[in-house]
Amino acid sequence: MSSLLPALGEFAASMASRALPPEVLHHAKRAVIDWTACTVAGAGAAPARLMEEAFAEELDRGPARLILGRPAGSSVAALINGTAAHAVEFDDIYKEAIYHPGAPTIAAALALAQARTADGPAFLRAVIAGYEISTRIGAVMGRAHYRYWHNTGTIGCFGSTPAAGVLLGLSAGQHAHALATVATFAAGLQQAFKMDSHSKPLHAGHAAQAGVQAARMAGAGVIGSLDVLDGASGMGVAMSDSPDWSAALTGLGSQWNITAMTFKNHGCCGHTFAAIDGALVLRERMGIDASAIRSVAVATYGAALEVANIEHPRTEAEAKFSLRYVVASALIHGSVRLDAMSPERLASPQIRDLMARISVSVDPAIDRAFPGQRAAHVTLTERSGRSESFFQPTRIGDPDAPLSDRQLDDKFLELCSPTLGEARARSWLTGLWELDRHAAPFPF
């Protein structure tokens, strides 16, 4: 019998009492703060708002809550909150797994923490368990998996399941069977977001819900095939390139991946970030007005163009996956925040004119370094003929160029204040930084 899922189950079961370094707890709070900001901002977006209509008969009762307080059953709460968390494209990334762990993992953990009236420390332990297991599975599945699959939908199932299982008090064996069961629920195709669609955030919500369901079923005695990942016809063969699964256990319990998250500094697809950051450096260095730009050349890694190369975006969803659009918006306005996707910006003749002067290509050396490194080479040429280039070796917000706690606070207040009001947003933020001492799983 395979030892992979039993070993992951042992780790998940240990998370209820394992001694955790203060740094790990601190980074878990950072992850929850970032998730909350993204979920509040996404709660009013079309996918989450429409899902409240679609699932109205399952709302206004139950022990869990949607992010803004509406009562719900734990399964539907995980579904809708997980969707909201990914809706505005501002949520965290584990770059080696090409994956947004927070949206599905924390949505599932919160739903079960509320259903079980767990305290803040138990909630954080569940979050950490989900991050550690899913990021390792995602890194093993690798770039070959990402060719067709949306990792947040597929790998996200392995974040939500142990997170839910820790709060349900599953045994090691039950955790293993929950992971085995949820592997058969893992879904999410990249083709689903090659055009205007609500599907991408739905992948995160489905992964959150699937984890809650798989953990509950395992707790009731439902069993799965323990070799479903590494078996002869398992997930590794079917959805990747027969990866080395031993790497999934490397450093488990001693090297904490949750301390190496990317927190987004721009409100769009993360594959565009290095190009945006490089363009902003040149904008400041050259002191250039966008109208004086003759051309912009961006060379980056292949996945960035496979995922984020919508040439003529018509909608907010498409604009977030248009490298030309977000680079042009950054050069004109100095940032890519939520207002970058407004109808006025989408219709801006100035942005459209500059987009036509932006070329994109794959740099083979940069491409070889992906996914461990996300870089871009940007060249700006003025109408006068003056030209400068800049190599952006990483993304602002990546572990080697992290957002500080203060910058994370600022992001939280920016995303939450329009919905909550500044006073309530600051109160939530204070409570979230104190989660490891909080008697409830969430400060509302």
> What's the pLDDT tens digit per position in 7-38?
999 999 999 999 999 999 999 999 999 999 99
Do 322 and 285 fall within a single domain?
Answer: yes
Residue 374 is encoded by which pair of tokens? Answer: 């996300």
- Among 375, 335, 377, 380, CA closest to 354: 380
Residue 389 DSSP code: E
Provide the residue range defining the domain that includes 167. Answer: 4-264+403-437
Is 276 a member of any domain? yes
Is 442 a member of any domain? no
The count of other CB atoms within 10 Å of the CB of residue 292 is 13
CA distance 321 to 326: 8
Do 260 and 275 fall within a single domain?
Answer: no
Q: What is the pLDDT of residue 235?
A: 98
In single-letter form, the type of residue at position 27 comes to H
Q: What is the pLDDT of residue 444?
A: 63
Q: Is the pLDDT of residue 1 over 80?
A: no
Is 397 a member of any domain? no
Give the burial string for 188-204 (b: 16+ CB within 10 Å, else e). Answer: bebebbeeeebbbbbbb
Is 47 a member of any domain? yes
More confident residue, 444 or 222: 222
Q: What is the pLDDT of residue 190?
A: 95
Per this entry, what is the length of the chain? 444
pLDDT in tens, 382-397: 999 999 999 999 999 9
Q: Is the pLDDT of residue 223 over 90?
A: yes
Do 206 and 252 fall within a single domain?
Answer: yes
Q: Which of 373, 392, 411 marks a domain boundary?
A: 392
pLDDT in tens, 256-307: 999 999 999 999 999 999 999 999 999 999 998 899 999 999 999 999 999 9
Q: What is the pLDDT of residue 354?
A: 97
Domain harbouring 376, CATH code: 3.30.1330.120
Do 193 and 338 fall within a single domain?
Answer: no
- Among 421, 392, 419, 199, CA closest to 301: 392
Do 357 and 425 fall within a single domain?
Answer: no
Share of the chain above pLDDT 70, in %: 99
Domain harbouring 107, CATH code: 1.10.4100.10
Q: Mean per-residue pLDDT for 318-325? A: 96
List, as one string, the DSSP characters of 258-297: GGG-B--SSSS-GGGHHHHHHHHHHHHHHT--GGGEEEEE
- Among 237, 251, 363, CA closest to 297: 363
Is 411 a member of any domain? yes
Share of the chain above pLDDT 90, in %: 96
pLDDT band, very low/low/confident/very high, at 439 (cuts 50, 70, 90): confident
Residue 306 near residue 384, CB atoms below 8 Å: no
pLDDT in tens, 83-128: 999 999 999 999 999 999 999 999 999 999 999 999 999 999 999 9
Residue 84 near residue 67, CB atoms below 8 Å: yes
Is 130 a member of any domain? yes
Is 379 a member of any domain? yes
Q: Mean per-residue pLDDT for 69-76? A: 98
Do 221 and 280 fall within a single domain?
Answer: no
CA atoms within 13 A on the CB side of 124: 29
Is 444 a member of any domain? no
Q: Mean per-residue pLDDT for 211-225? A: 98
pLDDT band, very low/low/confident/very high, at 318 (cuts 50, 70, 90): very high
Q: What is the pLDDT of residue 441?
A: 74
CA Rg value for the chain: 21
pLDDT in tens, 401-438: 999 999 999 999 999 999 999 999 999 999 999 999 98
Q: What is the pLDDT of residue 443?
A: 67
Do 278 and 303 fall within a single domain?
Answer: yes
pTM (2 d.p.): 0.96
Do 365 and 235 fall within a single domain?
Answer: no
pLDDT in tens, 171-193: 999 999 999 999 999 999 999 99
- Among 203, 415, 143, 194, CA closest to 322: 194
Q: Mean per-residue pLDDT for 243-249? A: 96
Q: What is the pLDDT of residue 43?
A: 98
Average per-residue pLDDT in the chain?
Answer: 96
Q: In the chain, how many domains are there?
A: 2
Do 244 and 105 fall within a single domain?
Answer: yes
Do 287 and 198 fall within a single domain?
Answer: no
Do 214 and 292 fall within a single domain?
Answer: no
For residue 392, the SS3 value is strand
Do 72 and 11 fall within a single domain?
Answer: yes
